[in-house]
Amino acid sequence: MIPIIQPVFGPDELAAVADVLRSGWVVQGPRVLAFEHAIAQETGAAHAVVVSSATAGLHLALHVAGIGPGDDVVVPSLSFIATTNAVWMAGANPVFADVAPDMPNVSVQTLQQAWTPQTRAVIAVHQLGVPFDRAGIAALCAARGAVLIEDAACAMGSRYRGEAIAHSAALAVFSFHPRKVVTTGEGGAVVTNRPDWADRLQRLRQHGMTLAADRRHGTSAVEAYAEPGWNYRMTDLQAAIGVVQMGRLAAIVARRRQVAARYDELLADCWDVAPLQPHRDDTWNAQTYCLCVAPDTRAAGMRRDAVLGLLQARAIGARRGILAAHLEPAWRDHPRGPLPCSEAWAGQSLALPVHEHLSDEEQRYIVATLREGLATV
Protein backbone atom coordinates (compact mmCIF):
# COMPACT_ATOMS: atom_id res chain seq x y z
CA MET A 1 0.00 0.00 0.00
CA ILE A 2 1.32 3.47 -0.94
CA PRO A 3 -0.46 5.92 1.39
CA ILE A 4 -1.48 9.43 0.28
CA ILE A 5 0.53 10.78 3.19
CA GLN A 6 3.04 9.43 5.68
CA PRO A 7 3.96 11.68 8.58
CA VAL A 8 7.65 11.36 9.39
CA PHE A 9 8.57 11.35 13.05
CA GLY A 10 12.16 10.71 14.05
CA PRO A 11 14.09 10.25 17.28
CA ASP A 12 13.91 14.00 17.99
CA GLU A 13 10.11 14.00 18.07
CA LEU A 14 10.14 10.90 20.32
CA ALA A 15 12.65 12.49 22.70
CA ALA A 16 10.67 15.74 22.79
CA VAL A 17 7.47 13.93 23.78
CA ALA A 18 9.32 11.87 26.41
CA ASP A 19 10.68 15.10 27.91
CA VAL A 20 7.17 16.50 28.24
CA LEU A 21 5.91 13.32 29.91
CA ARG A 22 8.82 13.37 32.36
CA SER A 23 8.22 17.05 33.12
CA GLY A 24 4.72 16.28 34.41
CA TRP A 25 3.26 19.31 32.56
CA VAL A 26 1.25 18.06 29.58
CA VAL A 27 -1.41 20.75 28.97
CA GLN A 28 -0.74 24.10 27.23
CA GLY A 29 2.48 25.44 28.73
CA PRO A 30 6.13 26.14 27.83
CA ARG A 31 6.15 23.96 24.68
CA VAL A 32 3.12 25.72 23.24
CA LEU A 33 4.94 29.01 23.85
CA ALA A 34 8.08 27.67 22.11
CA PHE A 35 5.98 26.43 19.17
CA GLU A 36 4.39 29.89 18.88
CA HIS A 37 7.84 31.49 18.76
CA ALA A 38 8.89 29.08 15.99
CA ILE A 39 5.77 29.87 13.94
CA ALA A 40 6.15 33.64 14.40
CA GLN A 41 9.80 33.39 13.39
CA GLU A 42 9.07 31.33 10.27
CA THR A 43 6.19 33.52 9.08
CA GLY A 44 7.65 36.84 10.15
CA ALA A 45 4.31 37.76 11.71
CA ALA A 46 4.27 39.52 15.07
CA HIS A 47 2.10 37.00 16.93
CA ALA A 48 1.17 33.34 16.67
CA VAL A 49 -1.53 31.81 18.88
CA VAL A 50 -1.58 28.02 18.84
CA VAL A 51 -4.96 26.24 19.05
CA SER A 52 -6.42 22.73 18.82
CA SER A 53 -7.10 22.79 15.04
CA ALA A 54 -7.29 25.11 12.06
CA THR A 55 -11.07 24.84 12.23
CA ALA A 56 -10.96 26.22 15.78
CA GLY A 57 -8.50 28.86 14.59
CA LEU A 58 -10.80 30.02 11.76
CA HIS A 59 -13.67 30.24 14.24
CA LEU A 60 -11.60 32.40 16.63
CA ALA A 61 -10.30 34.55 13.75
CA LEU A 62 -13.87 35.35 12.69
CA HIS A 63 -14.84 36.04 16.31
CA VAL A 64 -11.98 38.50 17.01
CA ALA A 65 -12.73 40.23 13.72
CA GLY A 66 -16.22 40.88 15.07
CA ILE A 67 -18.02 38.63 12.58
CA GLY A 68 -21.29 37.06 13.73
CA PRO A 69 -25.02 36.76 13.06
CA GLY A 70 -26.23 39.03 10.23
CA ASP A 71 -22.84 39.12 8.51
CA ASP A 72 -21.95 37.54 5.19
CA VAL A 73 -18.52 35.97 4.77
CA VAL A 74 -17.37 35.22 1.21
CA VAL A 75 -15.61 31.84 1.00
CA PRO A 76 -14.64 29.50 -1.82
CA SER A 77 -16.98 26.53 -2.04
CA LEU A 78 -13.97 24.67 -3.45
CA SER A 79 -12.09 23.95 -0.22
CA PHE A 80 -12.00 21.48 2.60
CA ILE A 81 -15.43 21.76 4.27
CA ALA A 82 -13.97 23.40 7.42
CA THR A 83 -13.62 26.75 5.59
CA THR A 84 -17.41 26.94 5.23
CA ASN A 85 -18.22 25.26 8.55
CA ALA A 86 -16.13 27.84 10.45
CA VAL A 87 -18.43 30.60 9.18
CA TRP A 88 -21.41 28.60 10.42
CA MET A 89 -19.65 28.13 13.80
CA ALA A 90 -19.39 31.93 14.08
CA GLY A 91 -23.14 32.27 13.40
CA ALA A 92 -22.50 34.14 10.14
CA ASN A 93 -23.64 33.30 6.61
CA PRO A 94 -21.21 31.77 4.09
CA VAL A 95 -21.49 33.16 0.55
CA PHE A 96 -19.83 30.93 -2.04
CA ALA A 97 -17.38 32.45 -4.52
CA ASP A 98 -16.10 30.56 -7.55
CA VAL A 99 -12.41 29.93 -8.23
CA ALA A 100 -10.27 30.65 -11.29
CA PRO A 101 -10.37 28.16 -14.19
CA ASP A 102 -6.61 27.58 -14.10
CA MET A 103 -6.04 27.80 -10.32
CA PRO A 104 -8.11 26.37 -7.45
CA ASN A 105 -8.06 29.75 -5.65
CA VAL A 106 -10.50 32.65 -5.47
CA SER A 107 -9.50 35.77 -7.44
CA VAL A 108 -10.42 39.47 -7.23
CA GLN A 109 -12.94 38.84 -9.98
CA THR A 110 -14.67 35.82 -8.41
CA LEU A 111 -14.85 37.59 -5.03
CA GLN A 112 -16.40 40.68 -6.66
CA GLN A 113 -19.01 38.48 -8.35
CA ALA A 114 -20.02 36.91 -5.02
CA TRP A 115 -19.93 40.13 -2.91
CA THR A 116 -23.15 41.13 -1.09
CA PRO A 117 -24.10 44.32 0.81
CA GLN A 118 -23.73 42.34 4.09
CA THR A 119 -20.21 41.08 3.30
CA ARG A 120 -17.92 41.95 6.22
CA ALA A 121 -15.19 39.36 5.78
CA VAL A 122 -13.55 37.11 3.20
CA ILE A 123 -11.85 33.81 3.91
CA ALA A 124 -9.47 33.20 1.00
CA VAL A 125 -7.70 29.84 0.89
CA HIS A 126 -4.08 29.21 -0.18
CA GLN A 127 -5.42 25.96 -1.62
CA LEU A 128 -3.06 22.95 -1.50
CA GLY A 129 -0.36 25.38 -0.38
CA VAL A 130 -0.57 27.42 -3.62
CA PRO A 131 -0.60 31.14 -2.68
CA PHE A 132 -3.61 33.18 -3.84
CA ASP A 133 -3.30 36.71 -5.30
CA ARG A 134 -2.71 38.28 -1.92
CA ALA A 135 -1.93 41.81 -3.12
CA GLY A 136 -5.07 42.07 -5.25
CA ILE A 137 -7.42 40.44 -2.75
CA ALA A 138 -6.10 42.40 0.25
CA ALA A 139 -6.59 45.65 -1.73
CA LEU A 140 -10.16 44.66 -2.63
CA CYS A 141 -11.01 43.85 1.02
CA ALA A 142 -9.42 47.08 2.26
CA ALA A 143 -11.33 49.16 -0.31
CA ARG A 144 -14.62 47.55 0.70
CA GLY A 145 -14.01 47.57 4.46
CA ALA A 146 -13.97 43.77 4.86
CA VAL A 147 -11.55 41.74 6.95
CA LEU A 148 -9.35 39.31 5.00
CA ILE A 149 -8.79 36.02 6.82
CA GLU A 150 -6.23 33.78 5.13
CA ASP A 151 -6.96 30.05 5.34
CA ALA A 152 -3.34 28.94 5.21
CA ALA A 153 -4.16 25.46 6.58
CA CYS A 154 -2.09 23.82 3.82
CA ALA A 155 0.46 26.59 3.28
CA MET A 156 3.16 26.35 5.96
CA GLY A 157 6.49 26.75 4.15
CA SER A 158 5.02 28.30 0.98
CA ARG A 159 6.13 31.78 -0.10
CA TYR A 160 4.12 34.45 -1.90
CA ARG A 161 6.36 36.70 -4.06
CA GLY A 162 9.30 35.74 -1.84
CA GLU A 163 7.51 36.45 1.44
CA ALA A 164 6.37 33.77 3.89
CA ILE A 165 2.60 33.20 3.87
CA ALA A 166 1.01 35.28 6.66
CA HIS A 167 3.99 37.62 6.81
CA SER A 168 1.81 40.71 6.63
CA ALA A 169 -1.57 39.11 7.29
CA ALA A 170 -4.29 40.64 9.44
CA LEU A 171 -5.29 37.08 10.33
CA ALA A 172 -3.99 33.81 8.88
CA VAL A 173 -4.69 30.28 10.07
CA PHE A 174 -2.46 27.19 9.76
CA SER A 175 -3.27 23.51 10.32
CA PHE A 176 -1.05 20.79 11.77
CA HIS A 177 -3.25 17.85 10.77
CA PRO A 178 -1.22 14.90 9.31
CA ARG A 179 -2.41 15.79 5.77
CA LYS A 180 -0.48 19.06 6.06
CA VAL A 181 3.25 19.75 5.80
CA VAL A 182 4.05 20.07 9.52
CA THR A 183 2.01 17.90 11.87
CA THR A 184 1.26 17.57 15.57
CA GLY A 185 -1.55 15.00 15.10
CA GLU A 186 -4.22 17.66 15.47
CA GLY A 187 -3.47 21.35 15.81
CA GLY A 188 -3.66 24.83 14.37
CA ALA A 189 -2.35 28.36 14.77
CA VAL A 190 -3.75 31.84 14.23
CA VAL A 191 -1.15 34.36 13.13
CA THR A 192 -1.77 38.10 13.36
CA ASN A 193 0.09 41.39 13.31
CA ARG A 194 -2.36 43.08 15.68
CA PRO A 195 -1.37 42.84 19.37
CA ASP A 196 -4.94 43.46 20.57
CA TRP A 197 -6.22 40.54 18.49
CA ALA A 198 -3.35 38.32 19.71
CA ASP A 199 -4.26 39.07 23.35
CA ARG A 200 -7.88 38.32 22.74
CA LEU A 201 -7.15 35.11 20.83
CA GLN A 202 -5.11 33.89 23.79
CA ARG A 203 -8.06 34.45 26.12
CA LEU A 204 -10.71 33.06 23.77
CA ARG A 205 -8.90 29.74 23.30
CA GLN A 206 -9.22 29.07 27.02
CA HIS A 207 -12.67 30.04 28.25
CA GLY A 208 -11.96 33.80 28.18
CA MET A 209 -9.47 33.36 31.04
CA THR A 210 -7.20 36.34 31.75
CA LEU A 211 -4.30 34.34 33.23
CA ALA A 212 -3.32 30.93 31.83
CA ALA A 213 -2.82 27.94 34.15
CA ASP A 214 0.93 27.71 33.45
CA ARG A 215 1.33 31.35 34.57
CA ARG A 216 -0.66 30.78 37.77
CA HIS A 217 1.08 27.50 38.63
CA GLY A 218 3.06 27.83 41.86
CA THR A 219 1.74 31.34 42.57
CA SER A 220 -1.29 32.67 44.41
CA ALA A 221 -2.48 34.61 41.33
CA VAL A 222 -6.18 34.28 40.54
CA GLU A 223 -7.61 34.36 37.03
CA ALA A 224 -10.71 36.23 35.88
CA TYR A 225 -13.04 35.38 33.01
CA ALA A 226 -13.16 38.50 30.88
CA GLU A 227 -15.62 37.23 28.27
CA PRO A 228 -17.08 33.86 27.23
CA GLY A 229 -14.69 31.62 25.30
CA TRP A 230 -13.98 28.06 24.22
CA ASN A 231 -11.55 25.29 25.07
CA TYR A 232 -9.41 25.32 21.92
CA ARG A 233 -6.06 24.57 23.58
CA MET A 234 -3.28 22.43 22.19
CA THR A 235 -1.34 20.19 24.61
CA ASP A 236 2.38 20.54 25.32
CA LEU A 237 2.77 16.94 24.09
CA GLN A 238 1.64 18.05 20.62
CA ALA A 239 3.53 21.35 20.67
CA ALA A 240 6.79 19.56 21.52
CA ILE A 241 6.43 17.60 18.26
CA GLY A 242 5.61 20.84 16.43
CA VAL A 243 8.79 22.55 17.62
CA VAL A 244 10.90 19.71 16.20
CA GLN A 245 8.93 19.63 12.94
CA MET A 246 9.29 23.41 12.44
CA GLY A 247 13.05 22.93 12.77
CA ARG A 248 12.88 20.50 9.83
CA LEU A 249 10.47 22.61 7.73
CA ALA A 250 12.97 23.67 5.06
CA ALA A 251 14.10 20.07 4.52
CA ILE A 252 10.51 18.76 4.44
CA VAL A 253 9.48 21.36 1.84
CA ALA A 254 12.59 20.73 -0.28
CA ARG A 255 11.88 16.99 -0.37
CA ARG A 256 8.18 17.47 -1.20
CA ARG A 257 9.08 19.86 -4.04
CA GLN A 258 11.44 17.19 -5.39
CA VAL A 259 8.63 14.62 -5.38
CA ALA A 260 6.30 17.08 -7.18
CA ALA A 261 8.95 17.93 -9.76
CA ARG A 262 9.48 14.22 -10.45
CA TYR A 263 5.73 13.74 -11.06
CA ASP A 264 5.82 16.75 -13.44
CA GLU A 265 8.67 15.10 -15.32
CA LEU A 266 6.99 11.69 -15.50
CA LEU A 267 3.75 13.28 -16.74
CA ALA A 268 5.27 15.85 -19.10
CA ASP A 269 4.04 14.06 -22.26
CA CYS A 270 0.66 13.00 -20.83
CA TRP A 271 -1.96 15.26 -22.44
CA ASP A 272 -4.87 13.75 -20.51
CA VAL A 273 -3.86 15.35 -17.22
CA ALA A 274 -3.02 18.91 -16.20
CA PRO A 275 -0.88 19.12 -13.06
CA LEU A 276 -1.30 22.22 -10.92
CA GLN A 277 1.26 24.87 -11.85
CA PRO A 278 1.82 27.56 -9.19
CA HIS A 279 2.84 31.11 -10.22
CA ARG A 280 6.55 31.18 -11.07
CA ASP A 281 7.28 34.00 -8.59
CA ASP A 282 5.89 31.96 -5.68
CA THR A 283 7.38 29.02 -3.80
CA TRP A 284 4.99 26.13 -3.35
CA ASN A 285 5.36 23.70 -0.45
CA ALA A 286 3.90 20.82 -2.52
CA GLN A 287 1.37 20.02 0.22
CA THR A 288 -0.72 18.03 -2.30
CA TYR A 289 0.20 16.96 -5.82
CA CYS A 290 -3.01 17.64 -7.65
CA LEU A 291 -3.84 17.18 -11.31
CA CYS A 292 -6.98 17.56 -13.40
CA VAL A 293 -8.07 14.59 -15.44
CA ALA A 294 -9.46 15.77 -18.79
CA PRO A 295 -13.14 14.80 -18.88
CA ASP A 296 -14.44 12.54 -21.62
CA THR A 297 -17.82 12.90 -23.28
CA ARG A 298 -19.60 11.50 -20.21
CA ALA A 299 -20.47 13.62 -17.18
CA ALA A 300 -17.58 15.53 -15.57
CA GLY A 301 -16.02 13.48 -12.83
CA MET A 302 -16.75 10.05 -14.28
CA ARG A 303 -13.36 9.65 -15.93
CA ARG A 304 -11.54 10.94 -12.85
CA ASP A 305 -13.51 8.51 -10.69
CA ALA A 306 -12.70 5.58 -12.98
CA VAL A 307 -8.98 6.39 -12.85
CA LEU A 308 -9.18 6.88 -9.09
CA GLY A 309 -10.88 3.49 -8.76
CA LEU A 310 -8.03 1.76 -10.59
CA LEU A 311 -5.35 3.51 -8.53
CA GLN A 312 -7.10 2.51 -5.31
CA ALA A 313 -7.61 -1.08 -6.51
CA ARG A 314 -3.82 -1.22 -7.00
CA ALA A 315 -3.24 -0.10 -3.40
CA ILE A 316 -2.26 3.46 -4.33
CA GLY A 317 -3.69 5.99 -1.87
CA ALA A 318 -4.92 8.51 -4.44
CA ARG A 319 -7.86 10.77 -3.51
CA ARG A 320 -10.33 13.23 -4.96
CA GLY A 321 -8.40 16.48 -5.31
CA ILE A 322 -10.56 19.18 -3.72
CA LEU A 323 -14.21 19.04 -2.71
CA ALA A 324 -16.81 21.73 -3.28
CA ALA A 325 -18.93 22.40 -0.18
CA HIS A 326 -22.03 23.26 -2.23
CA LEU A 327 -22.04 19.74 -3.72
CA GLU A 328 -22.02 18.06 -0.29
CA PRO A 329 -25.30 17.23 1.50
CA ALA A 330 -24.51 19.66 4.35
CA TRP A 331 -24.53 22.72 2.05
CA ARG A 332 -26.42 21.52 -1.03
CA ASP A 333 -29.52 23.62 -0.27
CA HIS A 334 -27.62 26.78 0.67
CA PRO A 335 -28.43 29.71 -1.69
CA ARG A 336 -25.67 30.42 -4.21
CA GLY A 337 -24.85 31.69 -7.67
CA PRO A 338 -23.31 29.60 -10.46
CA LEU A 339 -19.96 27.99 -9.58
CA PRO A 340 -18.84 26.37 -12.85
CA CYS A 341 -15.08 26.35 -12.21
CA SER A 342 -15.49 24.95 -8.69
CA GLU A 343 -17.61 22.12 -10.11
CA ALA A 344 -15.03 21.38 -12.81
CA TRP A 345 -12.23 21.22 -10.23
CA ALA A 346 -14.30 19.09 -7.85
CA GLY A 347 -15.12 16.64 -10.65
CA GLN A 348 -11.73 16.45 -12.33
CA SER A 349 -9.07 16.92 -9.65
CA LEU A 350 -7.05 13.99 -8.38
CA ALA A 351 -4.43 13.94 -5.60
CA LEU A 352 -1.46 11.59 -5.81
CA PRO A 353 0.62 10.43 -2.82
CA VAL A 354 3.33 12.85 -1.64
CA HIS A 355 5.54 12.16 1.32
CA GLU A 356 9.17 12.41 2.26
CA HIS A 357 9.93 8.70 1.88
CA LEU A 358 8.15 8.14 -1.43
CA SER A 359 10.68 6.34 -3.64
CA ASP A 360 11.34 6.90 -7.33
CA GLU A 361 10.18 3.35 -8.01
CA GLU A 362 6.88 4.06 -6.25
CA GLN A 363 6.42 7.28 -8.22
CA ARG A 364 7.03 5.45 -11.51
CA TYR A 365 4.54 2.74 -10.49
CA ILE A 366 1.92 5.36 -9.58
CA VAL A 367 2.33 7.18 -12.91
CA ALA A 368 2.31 3.92 -14.92
CA THR A 369 -0.94 2.92 -13.20
CA LEU A 370 -2.41 6.37 -13.81
CA ARG A 371 -1.56 6.10 -17.54
CA GLU A 372 -3.10 2.62 -17.65
CA GLY A 373 -6.28 4.00 -16.09
CA LEU A 374 -6.42 6.89 -18.57
CA ALA A 375 -5.95 4.53 -21.52
CA THR A 376 -8.86 2.30 -20.52
CA VAL A 377 -11.51 5.00 -19.89
Ligand X SMILES: *Cc1c(COP(=O)(O)O)cnc(C)c1O
Catalytic residue set: 180
Report which residue type is found at 221.
Answer: A
β-strands 47-51, 188-192: how paired? Answer: antiparallel
Chain-centre distance of CA 122, in angstroms? 15
Under DSSP, is residue 169 helix (H, G, I), strand (E, B) or coil?
coil
Q: Which is nearer to ligand X, 10 or 178 (CB)?
A: 178
For residue 193, the minimal CB distance to ligand X (Å) is: 21
β-strands 188-192, 171-175: how paired? Answer: antiparallel
149 close to 123: Cβ distance less than 8 angstroms: yes
For residue 170, the minimal CB distance to ligand X (Å) is: 17
Nearest Cα residue to 102 out of 345, 370, 343: 345
For residue 82, the minimal CB distance to ligand X (Å) is: 4
Q: Which is nearer to ligand X, 160 or 272 (CB)?
A: 160
For residue 361, the minimal CB distance to ligand X (Å) is: 29
For residue 151, the minimal CB distance to ligand X (Å) is: 5
Each residue of 100-132: b (16+ CB within 10 Å) or e? Answer: eeebbbbbbebbeebbeeebbbbbbbbbbbbbb
Q: Which is nearer to ligand X, 55 or 202 (CB)?
A: 55
For residue 188, the minimal CB distance to ligand X (Å) is: 5
Q: Which is nearer to ligand X, 79 or 192 (CB)?
A: 79
Q: What is the CA radius of gyration of the chain?
A: 21
- Helix, strand, coil share of the chain (percent; to 5): 40, 15, 45
Under DSSP, is residue 200 helix (H, G, I), strand (E, B) or coil?
helix
For residue 29, the minimal CB distance to ligand X (Å) is: 21
Q: Which is nearer to ligand X, 82 or 182 (CB)?
A: 82
Q: Which is nearer to ligand X, 175 or 348 (CB)?
A: 175
- The C-alpha atoms of residue 147 and residue 89 are separated, in whole angstroms, by 17
Q: Which residues bind ligand X (CB under 6 A)?
A: 53-55, 79-80, 82-83, 125, 151, 153-154, 175, 177, 188
- The C-alpha atoms of residue 286 and residue 307 are separated, in whole angstroms, by 22
- The C-alpha atoms of residue 103 and residue 136 are separated, in whole angstroms, by 15
Maximum Cα–Cα distance across the chain? 72
- The C-alpha atoms of residue 212 and residue 223 are separated, in whole angstroms, by 8
Q: Which is nearer to ligand X, 36 or 272 (CB)?
A: 36
The strand order across the sheet containing 147-151 reads: 47-51, 188-192, 171-175, 147-151, 119-125, 72-76, 93-97
